């Protein structure tokens, strides 16, 4: 099987299915994939509209895993999103640079994830939550909670 990637700047691996470029795939309009992004298991990775993947980000859906990044979501450079299960990033989520998300993780809408945060599944990040830079999150983060630290703890709740 020839190595091939139709997404601008994406590196391909032998186990990747070809993915059409956003401009020729109307259901994925507005998807921007920067230079050096790696998609492993691309046939099990899906995007909503207006998604941005920063430089050198790695998305790895293992043989039994799937990754979905929903509408209006920004993923910073050098992030790693990896799962053998299901990893879902909801709409209008901001993921800072150098973030690691691993395992079965569900990130609900309107969440902000700070620089160099680590989220280890199984985890659920509630709607509107904010996760401070460098935090390590395991388990459930309540909706509108502001968390920080290693391990992450609730500092307050957003109005």
Residue 28 pLDDT = 53
CB burial of residue 72 (10 Å; 0-12, 13-18, 19+):
middle
Q: Which two tokens stand for residue 6?
A: 């139709």
**Per-residue pLDDT tens digits for 126-142:** 999 999 999 999 999 99
User: Model's pTM, two decimal places?
Assistant: 0.80
Residue whose structure tokens are 């691309």: 42
What single DSSP character describes residue 18? P
| Topology adopted by domain 22-157 | UDP N-Acetylglucosamine Acyltransferase; domain 1 (2.160.10)
């Amino acid at each position: 099987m020839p190595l091939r990637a139709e997404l601008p700047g994406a590196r391909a691996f032998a186990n990747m299915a070809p993915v059409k470029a956003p401009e020729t795939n109307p259901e994925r309009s507005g998807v921007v994939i920067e230079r050096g992004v790696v998609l492993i298991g691309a046939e099990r990775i899906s995007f909503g509209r207006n998604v941005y993947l920063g430089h050198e980000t790695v998305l790895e859906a293992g043989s039994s895993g799937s990754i979905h990044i929903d509408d209006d979501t920004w993923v910073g450079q050098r992030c790693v999103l990896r799962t053998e299960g299901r990893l879902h990033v909801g709409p209008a989520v901001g993921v800072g640079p150098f973030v690691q998300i691993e395992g079965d993780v569900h990130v609900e809408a309107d969440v902000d994830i700070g620089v160099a945060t680590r989220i280890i599944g199984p985890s659920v990040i509630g709607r509107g939550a904010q996760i401070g830079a460098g935090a390590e999150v395991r388990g459930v983060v309540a909706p509108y909670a502001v968390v920080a630290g290693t391990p992450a703890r609730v500092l307050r709740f957003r109005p």
